Amino acid sequence: DVQLVESGGALVQPGGSLRLSCAASGFTLSSHSMNWVRQAPGKGLEWISFISSSGSTTSYAGSVKGRFTISRDNAKNSLDLQMNSLRAEDTAMYYCARVGVISWYFDLWGRGTLITVSS
Amino acid sequence: DIVMTQSPDSLAVSLGERATINCKSSQSVLYSSNNKNFLAWYQQKPGLPPKLLIYWASTRESGVPDRFSGSGSGTDFTLTISSLQAEDVAVYYCQQYYSTSPYTFGQGTKLEIK
């Protein structure tokens, strides 16, 4: 099956760090740019980070820039998000999402992993 | 940033009736070099991740029922469900991918059965 599976979600204290992972199966991750998108409880979708297929280009939303780092290991078919200096407002479901081969929309999403930032 | 605004925020439609959701972008998402609108629609059912329905504003993703259609160009777009089924209850989001830093989504439209 073609799928993305996120892991690493947890309850973490404000100021703490966490590393999320996204494992791809059923397709070659290196052929696709990837993104992380989050959704706070009961809220809408917020794009937070992009990485190109080779990993040479990254970008971040202003809300996470300087605190989060996206990376990928194409040999392991995996994507990571290192999250530092976590805040209560980072509490959300975090999804990894694949960029389509035709253009820049997201054609495949994982089921998400939940981060709760609270003391 | 390109701001995406959907209307209405919520919508209740009877089974078998038409549902229409609007999406407006703060600037054109029509790319002149290929004459394509960089606009996608996603469906999110409770407890599930978003699912791609439509890209290029009007192209259905493989496997999406033909009761779903997208239209519009430039800054104004519409998602139409021609005959609402019970399984269409969900939140629908538009997204522009004209600018990928940042990508932006509409706030979502909650669709319910009347």
List pLDDT tens digits, range A60-104: 999 999 999 999 999 999 999 999 999 999 999 999 999 998 889
> A-chain residues within 8 Å CB-CB of B36?
103
Residues 6+ away with beta carbon under 8 Å from B29: B2, B37, B38, B39, B74, B75, B96, B97, B98
- Does residue A119 belong to the interface with chain B, where contact is any CB pair within 8 Å? no
- Does residue B38 belong to the interface with chain A, where contact is any CB pair within 8 Å? yes
Are residues B97 and A104, on separate chains, in Cβ contact within 8 Å? Answer: yes
Q: Which amino acid is at B56?
A: W
Are residues B103 and A50, on separate chains, in Cβ contact within 8 Å? Answer: yes
Are residues A111 and B50, on separate chains, in Cβ contact within 8 Å? Answer: no
- Does residue B63 belong to the interface with chain A, where contact is any CB pair within 8 Å? no
Token pair of B104 as six digits:
């932006």
- Interface probe for B, chosen from A96, A106, A107, A113 (most Cβ of B below 10 Å), is A106
d(CA A23, CA A3): 8
Rg, C-alpha atoms of chain A: 13
**Ordered per-residue pLDDT tens for chain B, 114 residues:** 999 999 999 999 999 999 999 999 999 999 999 999 999 999 999 999 999 999 999 999 999 999 999 999 999 999 999 999 999 999 999 999 999 889 999 999 999 999
Rg, C-alpha atoms of chain B: 13
Q: What is the pLDDT of residue A101?
A: 84
Are residues B105 and A110, on separate chains, in Cβ contact within 8 Å? Answer: no
Q: How confident is the model at residue A24 (pLDDT cuts 50, 70, 90)?
A: very high
Are residues B55 and A105, on separate chains, in Cβ contact within 8 Å? Answer: yes
The CA dihedral of A97, A88, B101, A107, to the nearest 10 degrees, is 10
Mean pLDDT of chain A: 96
Token pair of A116 as six digits:
């709760």
